[in-house]
Protein backbone atom coordinates (compact mmCIF):
# COMPACT_ATOMS: atom_id res chain seq x y z
CA UNK A 1 0.00 0.00 0.00
CA UNK A 2 1.27 3.46 -0.91
CA UNK A 3 1.31 5.42 2.32
CA UNK A 4 0.17 9.07 2.55
CA UNK A 5 3.14 11.44 2.62
CA UNK A 6 1.36 14.79 2.85
CA UNK A 7 -0.51 15.05 6.13
CA UNK A 8 -2.98 17.69 7.24
CA UNK A 9 -3.90 18.43 10.86
CA UNK A 10 -6.82 20.70 11.75
CA UNK A 11 -6.27 22.23 15.17
CA UNK A 12 -3.07 22.63 17.14
CA UNK A 13 -3.97 22.19 20.76
CA UNK A 14 -2.36 19.47 22.83
CA UNK A 15 -3.61 16.63 20.62
CA UNK A 16 -3.13 18.34 17.27
CA UNK A 17 0.44 19.27 18.18
CA UNK A 18 1.12 15.70 19.28
CA UNK A 19 -0.25 14.23 16.05
CA UNK A 20 1.80 16.70 14.01
CA UNK A 21 4.89 15.79 16.05
CA UNK A 22 4.69 12.03 15.44
CA UNK A 23 3.93 12.50 11.75
CA UNK A 24 6.87 14.88 11.27
CA UNK A 25 9.18 12.53 13.17
CA UNK A 26 8.11 9.80 10.73
CA UNK A 27 9.49 11.89 7.86
CA UNK A 28 6.18 13.24 6.57
CA UNK A 29 5.24 16.67 5.25
CA UNK A 30 2.82 18.08 7.85
CA UNK A 31 0.63 21.16 7.39
CA UNK A 32 -1.38 22.39 10.36
CA UNK A 33 -4.49 24.53 9.96
CA UNK A 34 -4.91 26.78 13.00
CA UNK A 35 -7.77 29.11 13.81
CA UNK A 36 -5.84 32.40 13.84
CA UNK A 37 -2.34 33.89 13.63
CA UNK A 38 -2.21 33.80 17.42
CA UNK A 39 -3.13 30.13 17.40
CA UNK A 40 -0.30 29.50 14.92
CA UNK A 41 2.21 30.92 17.39
CA UNK A 42 0.85 28.85 20.25
CA UNK A 43 0.74 25.75 18.06
CA UNK A 44 4.32 26.19 16.92
CA UNK A 45 5.38 26.48 20.55
CA UNK A 46 3.50 23.29 21.46
CA UNK A 47 5.10 21.29 18.66
CA UNK A 48 8.54 22.62 19.55
CA UNK A 49 8.04 21.75 23.23
CA UNK A 50 6.82 18.28 22.32
CA UNK A 51 9.87 17.60 20.17
CA UNK A 52 12.11 19.12 22.82
CA UNK A 53 10.79 16.57 25.29
CA UNK A 54 11.72 13.88 22.79
CA UNK A 55 15.30 15.15 22.78
CA UNK A 56 15.44 15.28 26.58
CA UNK A 57 14.14 11.71 26.80
CA UNK A 58 16.69 10.51 24.25
CA UNK A 59 14.02 9.58 21.69
CA UNK A 60 15.52 11.76 18.97
CA UNK A 61 18.68 13.79 18.47
CA UNK A 62 18.78 17.59 18.15
CA UNK A 63 19.47 17.19 14.42
CA UNK A 64 16.46 14.88 14.06
CA UNK A 65 14.33 17.40 15.95
CA UNK A 66 15.43 20.23 13.66
CA UNK A 67 14.73 18.15 10.55
CA UNK A 68 11.28 17.19 11.87
CA UNK A 69 10.43 20.82 12.74
CA UNK A 70 11.40 21.82 9.20
CA UNK A 71 8.74 19.43 7.87
CA UNK A 72 5.95 21.23 9.78
CA UNK A 73 4.17 24.25 8.29
CA UNK A 74 1.17 26.28 9.41
CA UNK A 75 -1.77 27.98 7.77
CA UNK A 76 -4.91 29.76 8.94
CA UNK A 77 -6.85 28.66 5.84
CA UNK A 78 -8.45 25.23 5.58
CA UNK A 79 -8.22 25.49 1.78
CA UNK A 80 -4.43 25.13 2.15
CA UNK A 81 -5.07 21.46 2.99
CA UNK A 82 -6.45 20.74 -0.50
CA UNK A 83 -3.33 18.82 -1.52
CA UNK A 84 -3.14 16.65 1.60
CA UNK A 85 -3.31 12.85 1.31
CA UNK A 86 -4.59 12.19 4.86
CA UNK A 87 -6.18 14.73 7.21
CA UNK A 88 -6.60 14.50 10.97
CA UNK A 89 -9.26 16.64 12.66
CA UNK A 90 -8.14 17.60 16.18
CA UNK A 91 -10.26 20.62 17.13
CA UNK A 92 -11.87 20.93 20.60
CA UNK A 93 -14.48 18.35 21.62
CA UNK A 94 -17.43 20.39 20.34
CA UNK A 95 -19.79 18.56 18.00
CA UNK A 96 -20.99 21.64 16.11
CA UNK A 97 -17.40 22.74 15.49
CA UNK A 98 -16.35 19.30 14.29
CA UNK A 99 -19.36 19.06 11.97
CA UNK A 100 -18.41 22.41 10.46
CA UNK A 101 -14.79 21.29 9.94
CA UNK A 102 -15.82 18.07 8.22
CA UNK A 103 -18.29 19.87 6.00
CA UNK A 104 -15.58 22.30 4.89
CA UNK A 105 -12.94 19.59 4.39
CA UNK A 106 -15.39 17.65 2.24
CA UNK A 107 -15.69 20.62 -0.12
CA UNK A 108 -11.96 21.42 -0.13
CA UNK A 109 -10.49 17.92 -0.57
CA UNK A 110 -12.01 16.54 -3.74
CA UNK A 111 -9.99 13.33 -4.10
CA UNK A 112 -12.29 10.58 -2.73
CA UNK A 113 -9.26 8.47 -1.75
CA UNK A 114 -8.16 11.00 0.89
CA UNK A 115 -9.19 9.76 4.33
CA UNK A 116 -10.65 12.24 6.81
CA UNK A 117 -9.83 11.07 10.35
CA UNK A 118 -11.27 12.46 13.57
CA UNK A 119 -9.42 12.40 16.88
CA UNK A 120 -12.70 12.79 18.75
CA UNK A 121 -12.79 11.03 22.11
CA UNK A 122 -16.57 10.86 22.45
CA UNK A 123 -18.64 11.80 19.39
CA UNK A 124 -19.95 8.91 17.25
CA UNK A 125 -18.13 8.91 13.93
CA UNK A 126 -21.28 8.39 11.89
CA UNK A 127 -22.52 11.85 12.95
CA UNK A 128 -19.34 13.47 11.65
CA UNK A 129 -19.41 11.38 8.49
CA UNK A 130 -22.94 12.55 7.64
CA UNK A 131 -21.61 16.13 7.45
CA UNK A 132 -19.78 15.07 4.28
CA UNK A 133 -20.87 13.90 0.84
CA UNK A 134 -18.53 10.88 1.10
CA UNK A 135 -19.14 9.33 4.53
CA UNK A 136 -17.24 6.23 3.46
CA UNK A 137 -13.91 8.09 3.82
CA UNK A 138 -14.48 9.27 7.41
CA UNK A 139 -13.04 7.25 10.31
CA UNK A 140 -12.15 7.78 13.95
CA UNK A 141 -8.43 7.68 14.77
CA UNK A 142 -8.28 8.39 18.50
CA UNK A 143 -4.78 9.06 19.85
CA UNK A 144 -3.94 9.28 23.54
CA UNK A 145 -1.98 12.02 25.28
CA UNK A 146 0.92 12.55 25.18
CA UNK A 147 0.77 11.32 21.59
CA UNK A 148 4.53 10.81 21.10
CA UNK A 149 4.78 8.61 24.22
CA UNK A 150 1.58 6.55 24.40
CA UNK A 151 1.58 3.65 21.93
CA UNK A 152 -2.18 3.08 21.63
CA UNK A 153 -4.63 4.33 18.99
CA UNK A 154 -8.34 3.49 18.83
CA UNK A 155 -9.69 3.00 15.32
CA UNK A 156 -13.41 3.60 15.07
CA UNK A 157 -15.21 2.81 11.83
CA UNK A 158 -18.81 3.86 11.44
CA UNK A 159 -21.48 1.84 9.65
CA UNK A 160 -20.70 3.99 6.60
CA UNK A 161 -16.89 3.82 6.68
CA UNK A 162 -15.49 2.15 3.58
CA UNK A 163 -12.84 -0.54 3.38
CA UNK A 164 -10.30 1.85 1.83
CA UNK A 165 -10.51 4.20 4.81
CA UNK A 166 -10.28 1.32 7.26
CA UNK A 167 -7.24 -0.19 5.60
CA UNK A 168 -5.48 3.13 5.02
CA UNK A 169 -5.91 4.29 8.60
CA UNK A 170 -4.84 0.98 10.12
CA UNK A 171 -1.78 0.65 7.90
CA UNK A 172 -0.70 4.26 8.45
CA UNK A 173 -1.01 4.09 12.24
CA UNK A 174 0.85 0.80 12.56
CA UNK A 175 3.37 0.81 9.70
CA UNK A 176 4.21 4.53 9.54
CA UNK A 177 3.68 5.76 13.09
CA UNK A 178 4.52 2.49 14.83
CA UNK A 179 1.46 2.55 17.11
CA UNK A 180 -0.62 -0.32 18.43
CA UNK A 181 -4.24 -0.41 17.28
CA UNK A 182 -7.42 -1.51 18.98
CA UNK A 183 -10.78 -1.33 17.23
CA UNK A 184 -13.91 -0.02 18.85
CA UNK A 185 -17.54 0.01 17.89
CA UNK A 186 -18.89 3.41 16.92
CA UNK A 187 -20.62 4.52 20.07
CA UNK A 188 -20.12 7.53 22.32
CA UNK A 189 -16.86 7.30 24.26
CA UNK A 190 -15.68 4.28 22.27
CA UNK A 191 -13.83 1.61 24.27
CA UNK A 192 -11.27 3.34 26.49
CA UNK A 193 -13.36 6.27 27.67
CA UNK A 194 -16.37 4.06 28.33
CA UNK A 195 -14.15 2.33 30.89
CA UNK A 196 -12.19 5.36 32.10
CA UNK A 197 -14.79 8.10 32.56
CA UNK A 198 -16.95 6.35 35.23
CA UNK A 199 -13.75 5.82 37.26
CA UNK A 200 -12.82 9.51 37.06
CA UNK A 201 -16.36 10.62 37.92
CA UNK A 202 -16.46 8.27 40.91
CA UNK A 203 -13.28 9.88 42.25
CA UNK A 204 -14.84 13.33 41.80
CA UNK A 205 -17.97 12.30 43.68
CA UNK A 206 -15.79 11.02 46.52
CA UNK A 207 -14.22 14.47 46.85
CA UNK A 208 -17.57 16.22 46.39
CA UNK A 209 -19.15 14.21 49.23
CA UNK A 210 -16.29 14.98 51.60
CA UNK A 211 -15.30 11.33 51.88
CA UNK A 212 -11.68 12.18 50.99
CA UNK A 213 -9.68 15.02 49.48
CA UNK A 214 -8.09 14.89 46.03
CA UNK A 215 -4.59 14.23 47.30
CA UNK A 216 -5.75 11.25 49.35
CA UNK A 217 -7.78 9.76 46.49
CA UNK A 218 -4.86 10.02 44.10
CA UNK A 219 -2.35 8.68 46.62
CA UNK A 220 -4.60 5.70 47.29
CA UNK A 221 -4.71 4.73 43.63
CA UNK A 222 -1.03 5.32 42.87
CA UNK A 223 0.47 3.76 46.00
CA UNK A 224 -2.25 1.21 46.72
CA UNK A 225 -3.16 0.07 43.23
CA UNK A 226 0.01 0.77 41.31
CA UNK A 227 -1.56 3.27 38.91
CA UNK A 228 1.02 5.64 37.38
CA UNK A 229 -1.21 8.65 38.09
CA UNK A 230 -4.29 9.13 40.27
CA UNK A 231 -7.77 9.67 38.78
CA UNK A 232 -8.08 13.34 39.69
CA UNK A 233 -4.63 14.29 38.47
CA UNK A 234 -5.37 12.33 35.30
CA UNK A 235 -8.62 14.27 34.86
CA UNK A 236 -6.64 17.51 35.28
CA UNK A 237 -4.19 16.35 32.61
CA UNK A 238 -6.97 15.44 30.17
CA UNK A 239 -8.73 18.74 30.85
CA UNK A 240 -11.88 18.94 32.95
CA UNK A 241 -13.79 20.50 30.07
CA UNK A 242 -12.91 17.50 27.91
CA UNK A 243 -13.85 15.07 30.69
CA UNK A 244 -17.18 16.87 31.01
CA UNK A 245 -17.80 16.68 27.25
CA UNK A 246 -17.05 12.97 27.13
CA UNK A 247 -19.17 12.23 30.21
CA UNK A 248 -22.07 14.23 28.77
CA UNK A 249 -21.86 12.35 25.47
CA UNK A 250 -21.77 9.00 27.27
CA UNK A 251 -24.73 9.92 29.49
CA UNK A 252 -26.74 11.21 26.53
CA UNK A 253 -26.29 7.92 24.70
CA UNK A 254 -26.46 5.37 27.52
CA UNK A 255 -28.50 7.18 30.22
CA UNK A 256 -26.58 5.43 33.01
CA UNK A 257 -26.49 7.50 36.25
CA UNK A 258 -22.79 6.87 36.88
CA UNK A 259 -22.00 8.61 33.58
CA UNK A 260 -23.69 11.92 34.45
CA UNK A 261 -21.18 14.71 35.19
CA UNK A 262 -21.35 15.50 38.95
CA UNK A 263 -22.06 19.08 40.05
CA UNK A 264 -18.46 19.62 41.22
CA UNK A 265 -17.24 19.00 37.67
CA UNK A 266 -19.88 21.26 36.14
CA UNK A 267 -19.02 24.13 38.53
CA UNK A 268 -15.28 23.79 37.93
CA UNK A 269 -15.77 23.93 34.17
CA UNK A 270 -18.07 26.92 34.49
CA UNK A 271 -15.45 28.62 36.66
CA UNK A 272 -12.64 28.01 34.18
CA UNK A 273 -10.82 25.59 36.51
CA UNK A 274 -9.96 23.14 33.75
CA UNK A 275 -6.91 21.41 35.18
CA UNK A 276 -3.26 21.66 34.26
CA UNK A 277 -3.83 23.80 31.17
CA UNK A 278 -5.32 26.60 33.28
CA UNK A 279 -3.10 26.09 36.32
CA UNK A 280 -5.83 24.81 38.61
CA UNK A 281 -8.20 21.89 38.72
CA UNK A 282 -8.45 19.29 41.46
CA UNK A 283 -4.77 20.13 42.03
CA UNK A 284 -2.82 23.39 41.64
CA UNK A 285 -0.10 23.69 38.97
CA UNK A 286 2.64 26.30 38.98
Catalytic residues: 121, 142, 154, 193
How far apart, in whole angstroms, are the C-alpha atoms of residue 75 and residue 114? 19
The enclosing H or E element of 73 equals strand 72-75
**Residues making up the binding site for CoA:** 50, 57, 121
Q: How far apart are CA 90 and CA 22, in angstroms?
A: 14
Residue 277 CB-density burial (10 A; 0-12 exposed, 13-18 middle, 19+ buried): middle
Number of CB atoms found within 10 A of residue 134's CB: 18
Amino acid sequence: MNQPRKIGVVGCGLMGAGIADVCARAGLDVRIAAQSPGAVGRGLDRVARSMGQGVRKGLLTPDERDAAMARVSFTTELKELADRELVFEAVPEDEALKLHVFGELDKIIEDPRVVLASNTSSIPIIRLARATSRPERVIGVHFFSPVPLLPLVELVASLLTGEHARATAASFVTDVLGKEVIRSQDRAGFLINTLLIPYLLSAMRMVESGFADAETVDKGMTLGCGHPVGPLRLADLIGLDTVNSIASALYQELKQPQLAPPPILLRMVEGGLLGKKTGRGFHAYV
